[in-house]
Structure 1
């Protein structure tokens, strides 16, 4: 028997007519993609200042960049720290030094891949106003001022350098950098994409040492993309390790500036490993780092002596599936060699643990059937740990504080929804960026007890603008699948919803490991497109399948070794659940997704051909053998060890089951999910004599954007939905 429960975090209940009934202004494609009238205001580049009374932020409201100083108690601008107009600089990034006497600003920032960039950098003396151009305007990457303010380190042409500011001397730390061969101080493609890192060097606290990673890509196979637009298209090649292939050999080194000596740290005898994080511990001449084995089911935390390179293991964690590496860097070393704080899923939910300096567990700080999503900070003086968790609901994120001994827990953000927190270094204040499905970004300043001091940004104008349109709220629901698993979902219904009318349904899916789309927070461009479809008479729904995040290790790791199987079953079950609702036309149910979502939408149409009529797959993985080592092997093991896990749920092997209408879209310049995925799926569909529609975007990457591209893409998908659903 299926258990059905509906609940609503907005302002209406199931089958009640939306309060905007009577609003005749529809959400048009032009309003979303050409006019951009639903974008929300934000505050960027927030940097807490030392005196505890001010913070700085990057302001573009004058038509040029400024770094302004804001009084915490009044919320008012009191000083312009950096004036881009006076300097003649259109900078987009800035960083203040610890003493707030100097700043590095980046201009003409040029993206390379998802996180990597190169830019022009200027060093500004905030007291004198002097502005110094680094490297005579040559573009460099990740320029970082040393803690002693005497040097700036950066990466250029795969080598690590630093400039001595006292004498303007350029010092070259490494000499073997070469494209597609050796990288020093910057991450390779797969580390950047899957370990969320681009810069791969760190200054020591005294500014006398630089720790850096070295990547030897020599044996990593190259991937070639053809770039169009010239008389003769040319190849762009880069090192991309596909599942089961060679990774780069990675090592950790420390440069001692005083004697120009470089020490290699001992990371063990095994070479086929990952070294995704390095940390200066605060203890002189000691660097900590994380090592993962190739299968990513063992994580070791090392501590190394930087003068000798000798190392020892502080802690080891293993898993039958994989050990989750926190992208939020949920590992903090305490001052004065008092140990470290980390998060782990080892008790079934991600929680906070306190270890001494030798790695021995002192206490588990948090516990319960909920997850810590982010370790915000540790106030060692008052022994308080600040964190964001799902304790109140897996659909929400709220800020809590707890003592390091696990006692005196308090909720600091009462409002329902999703809270993103920026805590001041002295833990006296925090800035809360809060949204719900019905409330755009609200930014407010709070004291350490959670009391609101000042509303900084309300997006009132956006809310007033939205009130003029037939915006649909999200109704949250949950249902039980055939195996007893409860799944969360949301639904968006037309403003003039009639429970006695049957509507077509378009489901949206991403569904990848640890992701979460069903949350109580404000959406983005895709949500606004969904609003357009709803205004045209469609119901839009989304279901978080097994394998997604926020619900504990068992739920997230259930898809291990068999990506696509349970996720597709859940999407099909969700479609059947929706089909049984009296106001759903069960002959007109479609599904769409991007990337992992394109993978699942393809599988769902093929394996669920009796329930799905239509699918759109944008930039999909169609064969996990084509995707990178770190991501794919984490969830599937290498293909040599688990061939069926790769083949059983590949859309390429299910093309004969295709019955409905299928639209396949991809960018030919996709460095992430390669165009090769769609080429092979097209070949398989042709061999199976299946008719379908397809479209490619020349030279566009995984995001498929630039110029008129986004408008063209969503216009085409809208036309397809209206024709086929």
Structure 2
């Protein structure tokens, strides 16, 4: 397959560089409407949006469907007056786990009827009346985290200071529902590190549908090893102790409790020794509460129903897999008719299932359940990993695809209303359409009549990527190729720059302009930039994802194959004698691995926040793919970089934020030490005060410029690389 999209954009203002503009706009995401919630009667859509493409102060908005108007409900600037936003350590950690770089109102929760919305701002508690638009602050004890109204709209629960509190909507009776315990390792009502970082569960309490009780997580980090994150730029400050569950070590002890409104609580019982991971909790009006729990090796999962009288649980469904169980957002959950919604891996297709029976067709890979309605399920699904579509699956199993244009689409549905948010290669930003009804066209539902659009305030990028999407080689590797926008085919052979992520559960090659803006800018500096998704990436079926079992290092083979295929396809336009690679996180690991293991192919590498020793990464992610380090030490040795450091013969730039609590700086420092011990030249760039994200405008801009300078210099001196090339 091949799709080309010419440049139709505009040139940037001369006084603002692309790197600075990208950093200022958070890669052109600020101002996009997001985090949608639909009223069950279809009357309104609640969402978040920054006031402009360069303002990080996200606001709360409502869209009235009847008169097709938007109304700003809450403005953080007005609510805080002249006060600067003040975030608690707990809120900063929560945002780091969710990769939230914006400010202001970054999350909210509504009651069942969408009459009110609660949100935290500067660690204070606010309540918005969505009908009148009035916002008021509620009294709260301590820094507020994750406030949520009960479904009946009478009270708000919120986490604060390691306890869970409750306040009436009129502001009276703020009280500790679950008081904090004396131990600083115990917390109630928030997700532990592993759940938030690796299981996509960012919450720690769930209301009963009638608002009469809650299920509340309690975790105790006492068994988790204490690590210390120091700030070398401030030797007067003590290192920050953090509990980090590295592979092979102990996790936090997680329990779940049923708590009534008087504070009485009953522990929910399941075999926590065998199933220590609490992946998710579902409690809706369609049925009783469900738990999704996993064994530590993640090869067995149980869906459990909770007996609210005794706290006992009973098995609803068991799933097993010889490699690992994938966690699919929105599952498990009850259908209105009492059947259980899950996915099943059937052959090489991940299919939606009702009571274990597949209902979506072979070849349609289901990635998430977006919403469950009275007559069906809205899902994210695709038959082509470069695209993401929205489909409706009726209770009878009939499937209707609601999006057909190439692109990346997602959606929500409620009350006869469907919202579809779309990105594509033919337009900038996010296009949000609101649809009403289920019109039949040619015997198929089309998602309804468009009854409005929600505006985007994103900055328009200064250019449109000139990207060609391909499926290369015997493995049909999904690949994006970008040349300088003024490149004349055959006029010059350009150096190749690979720009992958390349690891499990993430895609870079998508049918959306935003995915390739930085890559296009790099191409415009004189490169042919190539982005490729190899084995382990989602959307191509379970077998493809499981090729990385015990073998992260093999993901490099796909990048090598892409270099060969691109060189064959563009023999007059690329120079395989000058190949560089850059990446961050798993992409950083891949970049460092490339120049160490395959210097015959890769001549320079930039590795940002790389994992270099998998024993230093967390339990849930690492053990899912590589097993337990005590049981398979050879797997960890084979996939790490430290033992292979002496093989480095190419220029390597290592970049790491010293405040990173996800991929800690020890990864880069240990690799640097191993390289130094082997006498291998390399460059290390430490970033003081920077975490795994780099949202700071000046840091993000200058990093890109420094990378560019390093790569240009390294590729200009390929023939002068010291030492023999060992393959």
Q: Same fold (TM over 0.5)?
A: yes
The reply on whether 1:609 has 2:599 as its aligned counterpart is yes
Secondary structure of 2:593 counterpart: helix
Q: State the Cα distance separating 1:627 from its structure 2 match.
A: 0.3
* 1:112 alignment partner in structure 2: none
Contact 2:23–2:697 under 8 Å retained in 1:
no
Preserved contact between residue 672 and residue 702 of structure 1 (Cα < 8 Å)? yes
Question: Are 1:31 and 1:37, in contact at CA under 8 Å, matched by a contact in 2?
Answer: no
Indicate conservation of the 8 Å contact 1:32/1:529, yes or no.
no
> Is residue 208–residue 214 contact of structure 2 (8 Å, CA) maintained in 1?
yes
Are 2:247 and 1:243 aligned?
yes
Query: Do residues 432 (structure 1) and 436 (structure 2) align?
Result: no
Instruction: For residue 129 of structure 1, report the CA deviation from its aligned partner.
Output: 7.8
Distance 1:460 1:138 in 2: 34
Structure 1 window deviating more from structure 2 (484-493 vs 289-298): it is 484-493
- The structure 2 residue matched to 1:264, chosen from 264, 267, 278, is 267
Give deviations 1:481-500, integer Å, cap 9, x for gaps: xxx43312110011232332
For residues 187-226 of structure 1, the aligned pairs below 5 Å read: 187-226=191-230
1:385 corresponding residue in structure 2: 377
In structure 1, what is the equivalent of residue 483 of structure 2?
Answer: 493
CA distance in 2, matches of 1:239, 1:430: 40
For the Cα contact (< 8 Å) 1:224–1:236, is it kept in 2?
Answer: yes
* Whole-Å separation in 2 of the counterparts to 1:606 and 1:255: 54
1:669 aligns with 2:620: no
Name 1:450's counterpart in structure 2.
Answer: 447
Distance 1:175 1:46, change over 3 A: closer
Aligned partner of 1:369 in structure 2 is: 363
- Aligned to 1:625, what secondary structure does the other structure show? helix
Count of matched residue pairs: 678
CA distance in 2, matches of 1:668, 1:643: 28
Judge which range, 539-548 or 219-228, deviates more. 219-228
- Name the CA shift for 1:180/1:271 in 2 (closer, same or farther; >3 Å): farther
**Contact 2:351–2:359 (CA under 8 A) maintained in structure 1:** yes
Is residue 290 of structure 2 the alignment partner of residue 288 of structure 1? yes
Query: 1:509 corresponds to which residue?
Result: 500
Rounded Cα–Cα distance in structure 2 between residues aligned with 1:65 and 1:608: 45
How far, CA to CA, are the matches of 1:182 and 1:692 in structure 2? 43
Displacement of 1:476 in angstroms is 1.3
- Aligned pair partner of 2:65 in 68, 72, 75: 72
Contact 2:224 2:244 in 1 (8 A): yes
- Deviation by residue 1:432-455 (Cα, 9 ceiling, x = unmatched): 333237643222222343355256
1:148 aligned onto 2:152: yes
| Whole-angstrom CA distance in 1 between matches of 2:395 and 2:297 | 33
Q: Work out whether residues 125 and 138 of structure 2, in 8 Å CA contact, stay in contact via their aligned partners in 1.
A: yes
> For structure 2, which runs of at least 5 residues remain unmatched after alignment?
86-103, 439-445, 716-727
Q: 1:302 aligns with which of 277, 292, 304?
A: 304
Who is 1:358 aligned against?
none
Which residue of the partner structure matches residue 312 of structure 1? 314
**Uncovered stretches (5+) of structure 1, i.e. residues with no partner:** 1-5, 13-17, 109-118, 356-360
Distance across 1 between alignment mates of 2:58 and 2:565: 51
Contact kept, 8 Å, 1:376 with 1:421, in 2: the verdict is yes
What residue number does 1:331 align with?
332
**Residues 189 and 294 (structure 1), Cα distance of their counterparts in 2 relative to 1, 3 Å cut:** same
Q: State how far apart, in whole Å, the 2-side matches of 1:122 and 1:709 are.
A: 33
TM, length-normalised to structure 2: 0.86
Q: Distance in 1 between matches of 2:685 and 2:583?
A: 15
Within 2, Cα distance between the matches of 1:22 and 1:385? 43
1:106 maps to what in 2? Answer: 120
How large is the Cα RMSD of the aligned pairs? 3.1
Query: Which residue of structure 2 lines up, in the alignment, with residue 577 of structure 1?
Result: 565
Shift of 1:505: 0.9
- Mapped to 2, the partners of 1:673 and 1:709 lie a distance apart of 18
Compared with structure 1, are the counterparts of its residues 494 and 81 closer, same or farther at alpha carbon in structure 2 (3 Å cutoff)?
Answer: closer
CA distance in 1, matches of 2:13, 2:175: 66
Larger deviation, residues 677-686 vs 128-137: 128-137
Q: Report matched runs for 1:395-414 at 5 Å.
A: 395-407=386-398, 409-414=399-404
Question: Partners in 2 of 1:704 and 1:571 — Cα distance?
Answer: 25
Q: 2:555 pairs with 567, 572, 577, which one?
A: 567
CA distance in 2, matches of 1:618, 1:136: 40
Report the equivalent of 2:96: none
Shift in CA distance, 314/546, structure 1 to aligned 2, threshold 3 Å:
same
- Secondary structure at the counterpart of residue 642 of structure 2: helix
Distance 1:30 1:281 in 2: 45
Q: 2:546 aligns with which of 547, 557, 566?
A: 557
- 8 Å contact from structure 1 (residues 157, 177) kept in 2: no
CA contact (8 A) 1:396 1:519 kept: yes
Check the 8 A contact 1:476/1:489 in 2, yes or no: yes
